[in-house]
Amino acid sequence: MLTALWNNLDYAAPMMLFLIGLYAVIAKDNLIKKFMGLNIMETAVFAFIMALGVVDGGSAPIIDHGAHAPFTNPIPQALILTGIVVALSTTALALSLIIRIYEQCGTIEGNELRELG
Amino acid sequence: MVSWPHWLVTIIIVPLVGAVLTPVVGRGRPKVIPIWALGIMTATSLAALMLIIRVAQEGPFSYLVGGWARPYGIELHFDEFSASVGIICLVGWLALLFSYHYVAETIPARRVPYFYTLVLLNLTGMIGFVVTGDLFNLFVFLEILSLSAYALVAVSGEHIAEMAAFKYLVMGAVSSIVVLLSIGLLYSVTGSLNMADIASRLAGVEQRLPVMLALAGLAMSFMVKAALFPLHIWLPDAHSIAPSPVSAILSGLVVKVGVFGLLRVYQIFYGAGTYDLTGLNTALVWLGAISIVMGAFFAIFQEDIKMMLAYSTISNIGYIVMGLGLASQYSLIGATVHIFNHALIKGTLFLAAGAIIHKTGYRTLTDLRGVGKAMPVTCMAVSIGAISIVGIPPTAGFLCKWYIALGAFQAGKPAFGIALIFGALFIFIYYIRMVNSFYFQKPTHPEILEVGEAPLSMLIPILVLATLCLVMGILGRIPISFIEPAVIRMLGPFGG
Amino acid sequence: MEVVDIRPILAPMLSLVCAGLIFLTGRQAFWRRMWSLLAAALKLGVVMSMLPGTLNGTIYVFKLTDFTPGIGLGFRVDALGMFFAIVSSTLWLLTTIYAIGYMEPEESKVRFFGFFALCVSTTVGIAFAENLLTLFLFYESLTIVTYPLVIHEETPAAFKAGKKYLVYTLIGGAFILLGTVLTYHTAGTLTLSKPGILTLANGTQTLTLLFVTLIAGFGVKAAIMPLHGWLPTAMAAPTPVSALLHAVAVVKAGAFGILRVIYNVFGVELLRQLNLTVWLAWLAAFTILTASFIALFQDNFKRRLAYSTVSQLSYIILGAALLTPMAAMAAIVHIANQAFAKITMFFVAGAIQRKTGKTSIREFAGIGYQMPYTMGAFTVAALSFVGVPLFAGFITKWYLSLGALEAGAWWFVVVMIASALLNAAYFLPIVYLAYFKAPPGTRFHVDEAPLTLLIPTVICALYVIVLGTTAEVPWMPLSLARTAVQFFFGT
């Protein structure tokens, strides 16, 4: 079991990270912490997809004089580039919302916000 | 003459570019902005109309962006389900028209250009979502529309709008990440991102676990987007606090994206043909049934009309999802047609509610008593919408009830048909409260009787949608015969 | 022989257009009355113009559009539908005249007359429906458009009545929808043009379930006990509405639906094999007697009439459930007989209420001295319900008894006789009270209700006698009922 986990560390680790993030999103009351959880989840997924594209001993998929097969799969990298952009904009939006909430309510603790109704 | 498939790109490019340019065009000329936005949507709608005509005549077609062949390039695929662009353009256009006066009077002037940018972006995202043939693009468009939707909820600047938007954002973002994860899983086993390609490769995949995980992930996150009970908690606040034209778009269209996503997932897995989807189907049918009842149940206790409408959306999503889960020919037809019809109905209701709240300044049933005498046309539209959403023939809402109930018998699960028919009665309870309050009860605030009708820019969208609620009920055969071949093709060997 | 003709759709459309015109221009009393009367008269004309053809066996059809693929929004005029349409459009004309007089002091008249017209539009739609879905469509619409009429007074009692009415009828509607779906699923068609679309091959269990579902659905409006609860409560409505609800549109829509289910969906032959209608006949007999008993103890005049309606409606159900030609004829012809007699009574109730403000029977003592014509009309209607020969009610009872004997069920004849006695027991005391129990010193002093109330009342009463005396004259309702029965029983 453990050996299997170790051999697939590149998949197992992002999964762990993903679950940690999910825990933070669900269990934390502070909006910033909640959002950090979300960011951890995003990072975990990015790492996971990057790991898919890795080929042992592969080189960067750029046709160059020194290039030689096998190449690393470029598609996941392209995807994650887009994914990071998306995550960035989500973060920006969320942070601006949190600032607005703080300006209006004076707190970003979930339980206190609920009391404010 | 540009060749046909290029139109497919225009319906994404035009609103996208239009959205980005809105603040630039509107700089110093605030009056131009709504007209600009309407113009952009008109162009998009015309292109969409031509595409729909073509798909009706010749069946599905694809466009390879940049000419790269499948599976390397990006493919746009237009099938009968993609004809949803029609309803997206229609409701979007009418909501923009409705915004003409509404936004100018309710939203701070400096935010107005960004409001239109966000609406156009949101519509772009949805259009892209339904026409893309590529899973990763599906994710990108999903994010475009989700992000703009979160921002639109907050745009009104009302007291708890930001809080609602944040709640929506957290749930939405988590589900989006899960979508991405599932796409990654599917890519890892099939090595492809093209939906049709994945469908054909899935049959040969030996490791079932990642595939099933991906299926579960996709289904789960689309359920969040569709606000299926118990994953609906973000919806009522977000939909009721957003500005009314936005509520119409969110409730009529954006939640449907979740359902549409489920539909695409089904297309992939039915296409693969070797997966047993009974578990997912059962889950969907049950969750659908529970959503119908719980949505109606919560709606009964609402005093705020927009809150009531928001909960009724949950019920209606329940219908659609139940139709998907029953997975018989009739129920799928009913579900897909209801995606379209519910957008019309909920559009009518939210826009009319918006007009009423805008004119009177009140939003609870008690405060709004007697408004039917002051705003007869708007309230007539509300009545038509109410009758329609309960599914009294000959309105648009009836078709889905008829087809999904028939589909339940066809699938050999008559109990769900019965649940559906009687669940609809539950919904009637709160709509009758609304009609009673508008028409038959003595006003709480007598000054409400002095309020006149909303300006034409608000009235016309309401009337157009209300008329369509009736017309689409009587002419139900048109959408049904349009979607039927696609459903039969999708069910393929399973065709029940 | 089927003929495509625009008239089947013209009839409901006329009332629909009329409703639209009333909503638009109805603020002026002149236009409101003008449109109501004009549409009522025109519609009666349109319906009557189809009568000769129908009697000759011509079937007028008109298909508007395909509602869903394969199921059209279609209209079809056969003898049974024609019968119902004639009754409702004749009574619409009379009730409109009456309502113009009666509603004079009321509020929201535009709404009242508008929905009144819609109500009749949907009723004719039910009569002419070509298939079960079209029928359901109009049946549900009828529920919706009568709601504003029921709660017209806008009092808490009216809202309560309205709510009860909606809950009952919409649940009934849901059953019908379920039944319709199941019918389509089993038979693959919904047409009402054949004497029966289901066959024994569909499986006894499914058929039983289907029968119960459909009868339970239509039984709500037909007020079969125990589904009758909404009807007495709905008395909160203004009298013309009660008249329309109880005599013509709503309750008859339910009864008509049951006739359609028995004759057109299942067919006589199949039901005989299934032996399903026996319990329905017993339920109807139970309703006839129980409702009469309850009526005995009602002091409010309109409530007594309501329970009498519940009882009378089950004559139609009983006639249909016996599955013999004679009984079927009684069932169909009772649609008209009960309608005219009961609407007379409601008109009387309304006239007395408007004139004297009296609603409870105790106060009626000596009213015959003040309103002799009105009470005369009431007497005619009462005698008809008792089943005295020469009055319309006798025809029903006669054929129904013959039908019961034909079916070999003599005990229903006993029910009939008991019901006649009960009818006498709760209607004749009113007559007695009005004429012979006048408080001492009452003078004969005619002070009648306005003519707009009186004339429709008297016409209806006269028609009750006409129906009772000229049953065998060609072109009278009985001949139409006979045409219908010949089709259903294939003789």
The structural domains of chain A, with segments of one domain joined by +, span 2-55+70-116
In this complex, which of B150, B181, B187 lies closest to A93 when CB atoms are compared? Answer: B150
> Is the CB of residue B162 less than 8 Å away from at least one CB of chain A?
yes
Q: Is A101–B163 a contact, with Cβ atoms under 8 angstroms apart?
A: yes
Distance CA B32, CA B15 (A): 16
Report the 10 Å Cβ neighbour count for C413: 16
| Interchain CB contact of B159 with A (< 8 Å) | yes
Residue ranges of domains in chain B = 277-496
Cα separation, A117 vs A114, in Å, equals 5
Interface of B with C (CB under 8 A): 387, 392-394, 398-399, 401-403, 405-406, 409-410, 414, 417-418, 421-422, 424-425, 428, 432, 436, 439-442, 474-477, 480-481, 484
pLDDT digits (tens, 9 = 90+) for A64-95: 666 666 777 777 888 888 889 989 999 999 99
Instruction: Please name the member of B162, B176, B180 whose beta carbon is closest to the beta carbon of A101.
Output: B162
C242 within 8 A of C177, measured Cβ to Cβ = no
Cβ contact C362:C298 at 8 Å = no
Instruction: Quote the CA–CA distance of B434 and B386 in Å, as a whole number.
Output: 9
Contact C420, C387 (CB under 8 A): yes
Per the CB < 8 A criterion, the answer to whether C402 and C325 are in contact is no
With a cut of 70, which residues of chain A have pLDDT below it? 57-58, 63-69, 116-117
Q: What is d(CA C84, CA C123) in angstroms, rounded to the nearest whole number?
A: 9
Q: Would you state the pLDDT for residue B415?
A: 85
- pLDDT, mean of residues C330-356: 85
Beta bridge partners of B64: B75
pLDDT at residue B123 in the model: 92
- B407 CB contacts (<8 Å, ≥6 apart)? B323, B326, B328, B329, B330, B331, B332, B333, B334, B417
How are beta strands B61-65 and B74-78 bridged, if at all?
A: antiparallel
Q: Which chains touch B (3 or more CB pairs under 8 A)?
A: A, C
Contacts of A55 (CB under 8 A, 6+ apart): A70, A71, A72, A73
Structure-block tokens of residue B338 = 């209801």
| Interface contact B184, partner A, CB < 8 A | yes
Q: Do chains A and C touch (3 or more CB pairs under 8 A)?
A: no
Does C133 sit within 8 Å of B477, measured CB to CB?
A: no
Mutation to test the B interface, candidates C68, C126, C155, most B Cβ within 10 Å: C68
Chain B residues in contact with A105 (beta carbon < 8 A): 163
- Contacts of A among chains (3+ CB pairs under 8 A): B
Q: Which residue from A minimizes the CA distance to B179?
A: A45
| Number of C-beta neighbours around residue B116 at 10 A | 25
Residue contact C178–B484, C-beta within 8 A? no
Nearest by CB to C177, from B421, B474, B476: name it.
Answer: B421
Chain pair A-B, CB pairs under 8 angstroms: 73
The minimal CB distance from B184 to the residues A42, A49, A105 is found for A49
Tokens of C460: 């209806």
B110 touches chain A (CB under 8 A): no
d(CA A66, nearest CA chain B) in Å: 25
The reported pLDDT for the residue numbered B77 is 84
pLDDT at site B122: 92
Per the CB < 8 Å rule, is A93 touching B169?
yes
Give the number of other Cβ atoms within 10 Å of residue C173's Cβ. 27
Task: Tell me which residue in C65, C140, C181 faces B417 most closely, judged by beta carbons.
Answer: C181
pLDDT of B2 reads: 46
Both tokens of C97, joined, read 């005249």
Handedness of CA C126, C131, C136, C141 (dihedral sign): negative
H, E, C per residue of C325-343: HHHHHHHHHHHHHHHHHHH
The whole-number pLDDT of residue B496 equals 37
Per-residue pLDDT of chain B (496 residues; tens, 9 = 90+): 345 667 788 888 888 998 888 888 888 788 888 888 899 999 999 988 888 888 888 888 888 777 676 666 778 888 888 888 888 999 999 999 988 888 888 888 888 888 899 999 999 999 999 988 888 889 999 999 999 999 888 887 776 788 888 888 988 999 998 999 898 888 888 888 888 888 888 877 777 888 888 888 999 899 888 888 888 888 888 888 888 888 889 888 898 898 999 988 888 888 776 777 788 888 888 998 888 888 888 888 888 888 888 888 888 899 899 988 888 888 888 898 888 889 999 999 999 988 888 888 888 888 888 888 888 888 888 888 888 888 887 788 888 888 888 888 888 888 888 888 888 888 888 888 888 888 887 788 888 777 778 888 888 889 999 998 888 888 878 888 888 888 888 876 544 3
CA dihedral C279, C394, C234, B312 (to 10 degrees): 50
Q: Is A79 on the interface with B (CB under 8 A)?
A: yes
Fold of A2-55+70-116: Helix Hairpins (1.10.287)
CB distance B124 to B16 below 8 Å: yes
Q: Mind listing the pLDDT tens digit for each residue in C374-417?
A: 888 888 888 888 888 888 888 888 888 888 888 787 888 888 88
In chain B, residues with a C-beta closer than 8 Å to the C-beta of A97 are: 150, 154, 162, 165-166, 169
Residue B188: list chain A partners with CB under 8 A.
52
What residues of B are in contact with residue C137 (Cβ under 8 Å)? 393-394, 398
